A and B are shown apart, each in its own frame.
Chain A
Amino acid sequence: MEQGASTLAQALIGQLPIAAWTLVAVAVFALGIVVYVALRSRTRQVDLEKAVQAFRSLDIEAFGNLVDSTEEAFLRDNLSPRKFREIQRQRAWAALLYAWEAGRAAAALARIGQAAQRSSDTEIAASGVQLAENAFRLRLQTIGACFHLLEGILWPARPSRSLPRLVDQYERAGEILLRLGRFSCGAHELGRSKGA
């Protein structure tokens, strides 16, 4: 027993330099990320414009087709299992790219909402609060969708499982998002007030 313990201790001592260099590597990696984030934050406004453009360029109907369960059922019935897996994997991959881009756009919407929050106009500020809150939720929900689609890429033949908790969360977010009617006019007004 004691011999075993001493062997283990020796083995651990042998690992020590590796642990030290692991910490150094972690620290250098962290430092790199910190510097990267600092540098990237200076070009945030350009990225925001790009993201909003990307959001507008996304074809929502195409995304709808890609995740349509009746289309999936049709393909399952009419294609050979091998071909179905191939096609389904491609569909899931394409939908994942859409969801990912929508998530990035949600982050841009969050920035717009936060900018609107600082408006002196109370209505614009209020719609900014709503927009930011819902964009944060949308961002997190797109990540849920991405994991769901990733599962579809890895196991294309497996029938889609239901995600009740996520759906509940999403429904709640959806209700608030539906109240975003004031946003577009709020953003218009803010744009005018900035320009004035």
Chain B
Amino acid sequence: MNWHKVLFYFLWISPRVLLGALAVILYRRRLYRKFPCFFAYVLFEIARFILLFPLYVVQGVAGKQYAYFFSATLMFGIALCFGVIDEVSRDLFRESQFLKISARRLLQCVAGSLVVIGVVLAAYAPGNNSARWHAGVSVINRGAAMVQCGLLLALLLFSRFLGLTWRRSAFGIALGLGILTSVDLATSALRAEFTGAAAREFLNWLVTGASFVCASIWIGYVLAPELEPVSPTVVPRDEVETWNRELQHLLRR
């Protein structure tokens, strides 16, 4: 077995081992109650590995059964990923009634725009896969990665813009998923463009490497204690009121 193969197996197996540890931590800390979809996603990724790894060892990547199972589980994984993003956004807006309505509405608009962009870009991105269904799967994967990446980015930017405080675990989930989806987006676009064996191997390393990084981030953030709230600095009420009055005056004109 050459070092390429060893590295590939290491990067494929080790993130799943980390996910197993993460599942245990989530269960023991009862975080599965707060993030049930994320817990399901972690368990699903482990189950997916248990299913796909033996098939890959027996049949290789060209095996028909491997390809079918890979595609089917990929679709389910995409659906779960959207669930995780929804869960994270609910957690982010949990403390504000105003944001629960307005920010989520804004996010829905962002999601709608991203779906349109994702469909257009995914459809016009390359892909000369011989198998039609495989091409379809890669197009859906590309579009979904685009939408998920955009949604997570919007969440992160929105929270910074509004001064929203993340819970550490929710932030870690969003951060890990953001890295994973952005790498997935880039590699899925490149995979269709570069079909050589060496390029495919390199892209596989990238994806599995990103999975390793994400699993580590998730464990790190789930284990880290929540930050103590910062001591508020006193801002006299008058300042806020005066600003309110002045801006109101400006907008009235």
Mark contacts of B23-59 with chain A using CB atoms, 8 A cut-off: 1 yes-contact digit, 0 otherwise: 0000000000000000000000000000000000000
Is B193 on the interface with A (CB-CB < 8 A)? yes
| B-facing residues in A153-196 (Cβ within 8 Å) | 160, 162-163, 166-167, 170-171, 173-174, 177-178, 180-181, 183-184, 187-188, 190-191, 194-195
| A-facing residues in B151-180 (Cβ within 8 Å) | 152-153, 156-157, 160-166, 171, 175, 178-179
Contact B126 A137 (CB under 8 A): no
Q: Interface of chain B, helix or strand or loop or mixed?
A: helix
Contact B152 A34 (CB under 8 A): yes
Contact B240 A23 (CB under 8 A): no
Known: A30-B153, A33-B157. Contact between A23 and B125, CB under 8 A?
Answer: yes
Contact B244 A177 (CB under 8 A): yes
State which of A22, A58, A173, A187 has its C-beta within 8 Å of the C-beta of B121.
A22
Point out the residues of chain B lying under 8 angstroms from A108, CB to CB.
163
Is A133 on the interface with B (CB-CB < 8 A)? yes
State which of A28, A99, A191 has its C-beta within 8 Å of the C-beta of B247.
A99
Is B197 on the interface with A (CB-CB < 8 A)? no
Count of interface residues, chain A, beta-carbon cutoff 8 Å: 87
Q: For the complex, give the distance between the alpha carbons of A144 and B102 in Å.
A: 15
Is B1 on the interface with A (CB-CB < 8 A)? no
Mark contacts of B225-238 with chain A using CB atoms, 8 A cut-off: 1 yes-contact digit, 0 otherwise: 00001111111110
Contact B235 A178 (CB under 8 A): no
Mark contacts of B88-130 with chain A using CB atoms, 8 A cut-off: 1 yes-contact digit, 0 otherwise: 0000000111110010000000000000000001001110000
Count of interface residues, chain B, beta-carbon cutoff 8 Å: 64
Contact B250 A148 (CB under 8 A): yes
**Closest chain B CB from A11 CB (angstroms):** 11
Instruction: Give 14 new A-B contacts, CB below 8 A, not counting A24-B186, A49-B233, A180-B241.
Output: A33-B157, A34-B153, A35-B179, A56-B235, A60-B239, A102-B243, A110-B163, A114-B163, A115-B231, A136-B98, A138-B247, A141-B247, A160-B253, A170-B244
Contact A16 B162 (CB under 8 A): no
Is A88 on the interface with B (CB-CB < 8 A)? no
Point out the residues of chain A lying under 8 angstroms from B96, CB to CB.
132-133, 136
Point out the residues of chain B lying under 8 angstroms from A167, CB to CB.
248, 251-252
**Closest chain A CB from B182 CB (angstroms):** 4
Q: For the complex, give the distance between the alpha carbons of A171 and B247 in Å.
A: 10
Is B146 on the interface with A (CB-CB < 8 A)? yes
State which of A33, A60, A160, A163 has its C-beta within 8 Å of the C-beta of B156.
A33
**Closest chain B CB from A101 CB (angstroms):** 10
Q: For the complex, give the distance between the alpha carbons of A132 and B190 in Å.
A: 44
**Closest chain B CB from A183 CB (angstroms):** 6
Is B16 on the interface with A (CB-CB < 8 A)? no
Is A26 on the interface with B (CB-CB < 8 A)? yes
Point out the residues of chain B lying under 8 angstroms from A129, CB to CB.
95
Q: For the complex, give the distance between the alpha carbons of A167 and B183 in Å.
A: 43
| A-facing residues in B177-209 (Cβ within 8 Å) | 178-179, 181-183, 185-186, 188-190, 192-193
State which of B192, B241, B250 has its C-beta within 8 Å of the C-beta of A67.
B250
**Closest chain B CB from A69 CB (angstroms):** 5
Known: A23-B125, A56-B239. Contact between A145 and B247, CB under 8 A?
Answer: yes
Is B245 on the interface with A (CB-CB < 8 A)? yes
Contact A24 B236 (CB under 8 A): no
State which of A12, A48, A170, A177 has its C-beta within 8 Å of the C-beta of B241.
A177
